[in-house]
Structure 1
Amino acid sequence: MPTRLFVATPTKLLTFADCKRKYRFTYLESPRPPKGPAWAHNTVGGIVHEVLADFFGRWPAAQRTPDAVVERIRTGWRNEGFRDEAQSLEWRDRSTDMVLTYLRDSDPYYEPRGVERTVGFTTERASLRGRIDRVDERPARDGSGGTELAIVDYKTGRRPLTPTDARTSLAMALYVLGARRVLRRPCTRVELHHLPTNTVAAADHDEASLARHQSRAEAIADDAAKAEHHWKTGLTPTQADEAFPPTPSPLCAWCDYAKLCPQGRRVAPTKNPWAALEDPEPTLDD
């Protein structure tokens, strides 16, 4: 029988790499343990992503106006995670300004190659897939007269981004490989579009850098597959804690399962749900 491929997204792989206990709670426990309260910064990011997906992927050109953006954010706004109504309304207005500034010079007739596009590829050991915020098709920079793809990911965290962030992102590299496989076009370009500063952190991969990212993904997938096989043999709670230990770090302050992990709480007390709106968010590659 052929070896069964391990199926994963970049988020799943990075969760395993960052903290095996969180991986167990997220992907293996059934029923899944209850999460903590919603995070306000996730509410902001989620709504901004939804509006941009509508603008580029669902609305006809005639509807792509500032008034439509304002109305979409107003009607789609959620109060999850905010300190109070005043903070929620403040961030509704700030999010509106961010999106309008980002879209100010956009061509309403521009049609990306993909919006919220799922792509994937397989290796000898894993089946890797993910959903890309936006895939642009642009004139090839090599002068061939053809076209090439660029992977666009929207970011709404407070921390400014750099080309190094784009280049070292495992998720973005896997998106490149997936887009090549599914859309069958040349692709090396990755871009992090940071809405709070309206800047773009861009990088170009070569075959060597993509191979390194793929090797890293396969190595994580191999370890996760072994851990999942161990889980399926049936473990006592003590054995499960030993097989899926926590990795205490400052990121624990932002973990959805912090209340279930005393080791993490000792290292980093849990933040308020709105803390990332006032302090820099954790550095997460997802």
Structure 2
Amino acid sequence: MTEPTTPPPAQGSFPGMPERLYVASPSRLLAYVDCPRRYRLQYLDRPKPTPAPQRAHTSLGIAVHNTLRDWWDLPAQQWSASRAMELVRASWVATGFRDEAMSRRWLERSQRHVVDYLRGLSPANRPIGVERTVSLRTGSIIVQGRIDRLDDRPTSDGGRALVVVDYKTSRRTSTEQELRTSLPMALYAVAVGAMFRRSCVDVELHHVPSSTVVRHRHTTESLQRKVAEAESIAADLKRADADYAERGVESPHFPPRLSALCGWCDFRAHCAEGAAHAPEQSPWAALEPDTAPAPGQGRASPAD
């Protein structure tokens, strides 16, 4: 009987070398979970297919995030409603809106939302990180991402607690379940804890349009489960990436995952199945009706 032979090492490696860690962002991991086809189009295909133009809700979200980033650079004596409105206006772009009038209405609305949200902040409680890049290394993956804000707050027992804060600008308010099950927020908490060599179990979603805050406190066990989830997704991705490198678009690892989100997909022009499954949403659809905030509708829009 012929003895099995050991396959030669991969190019650029030697026998006994440790396996290379898989590097990804939380967005990349979740892109594969949401739709393997979109993942392939967004991260693997070269040349990269041209995505759809930026949508209105994305333009709005970028402007608000930039404002909240720049706000903390201001000296306390410059904190005012008018200054906040100036920051929103300076970051505003009209890309994706139906017309100039719609862009102007949402600019004014966003200015009011930001001013109302900022009233609850104190210059004495400045964050220790704003749009800070964090990284988590395990035995099999490296996860890198950027957090909106990192606070170091006093606790009721006289100690201090690190809190990861993420801003939300969608029309639907955030929920505790959304935060509790969020893979990115859990990974950011673990990464912060490792980087600062302190426990970090508190995460928050700040919904700017309503000035509401959703909080969740993880346990060591719940964070470990999220890390294991990320490692499992990364293992699938590693296999899929390797198969793509060998077989290209013929790889069976990237089927479309058809859902209502196909109507919002930035790469629907390159996916016949998705384009046939759901009608294309207009670039401003997530902000309709253009009058008052809409109630929560589940996961029908990426702006949620």
Q: Which bracket does the TM-score occupy, shorter chain normalised?
A: over 0.9
**Alpha-carbon contact 2:203-2:217 (below 8 Å) kept:** yes
Instruction: Give the match's secondary structure for 2:201.
Output: strand
Q: Which moved more, 1:96-105 or 1:182-191?
A: 182-191
**Alpha-carbon contact 1:62-1:108 (below 8 Å) kept:** no
- CA 1:106 to 1:49, structure 2 compared with 1: closer, same or farther past 3 Å? same
- Structure 2: which 5+ residue stretches go unaligned? 1-16, 290-296
Instruction: Give the match's secondary structure for 1:36.
Output: coil
What whole-Å deviation, never above 9, does each CA across 1:121-177 have from its counterpart, x for those lacking one? 111110012111001111134x2x321101110001111211111101001000100
- Aligned twin of 1:184: 197
- Structure 1: which 5+ residue stretches go unaligned? none
- Aligned twin of 2:225: 212
Residue 281 (structure 2) pairs with residue 271 (structure 1): yes
Find 2:171's aligned residue among 148, 158, 170.
158
- Aligned twin of 1:71: 86
- Aligned twin of 2:108: 93
TM-score by length of 1: 0.93
For residue 243 of structure 1, report the CA deviation from its aligned partner: 3.0
- Aligned twin of 2:154: 139
Find 2:42's aligned residue among 8, 18, 26.
26
Q: Which moved more, 1:269-278 or 1:67-76?
A: 67-76
Q: Which moved more, 1:105-114 or 1:151-160?
A: 105-114
Aligned-pair Cα RMSD in Å: 1.7
Q: Which moved more, 1:225-234 or 1:172-181?
A: 225-234
- Aligned twin of 2:254: 244
**Alpha-carbon contact 2:153-2:161 (below 8 Å) kept:** yes
- Aligned twin of 2:58: 42
Instruction: Give the match's secondary structure for 2:205.
Output: strand
Instruction: Give the match's secondary structure for 1:203.
Output: strand
- CA 1:283 to 1:169, structure 2 compared with 1: closer, same or farther past 3 Å? farther
- Aligned twin of 1:10: 26
**Alpha-carbon contact 2:264-2:301 (below 8 Å) kept:** no
Q: Distance in 1 between matches of 2:90 and 2:138?
A: 43
Aligned AA for 1:138?
R
For residue 48 of structure 1, report the CA deviation from its aligned partner: 0.3
Aligned AA for 1:14?
L
- Aligned twin of 1:256: 266
Find 2:240's aligned residue among 223, 227, 246.
227
For residue 285 of structure 1, report the CA deviation from its aligned partner: 10
Q: Percent sequence identity over matched residues?
A: 44
Aligned AA for 1:12?
R
- Aligned twin of 2:123: 108
What whole-Å deviation, never above 9, does each CA across 1:59-89 have from its counterpart, x for those lacking one? 2223332221111222221011000000000
Q: Which moved more, 1:207-216 or 1:4-13?
A: 207-216
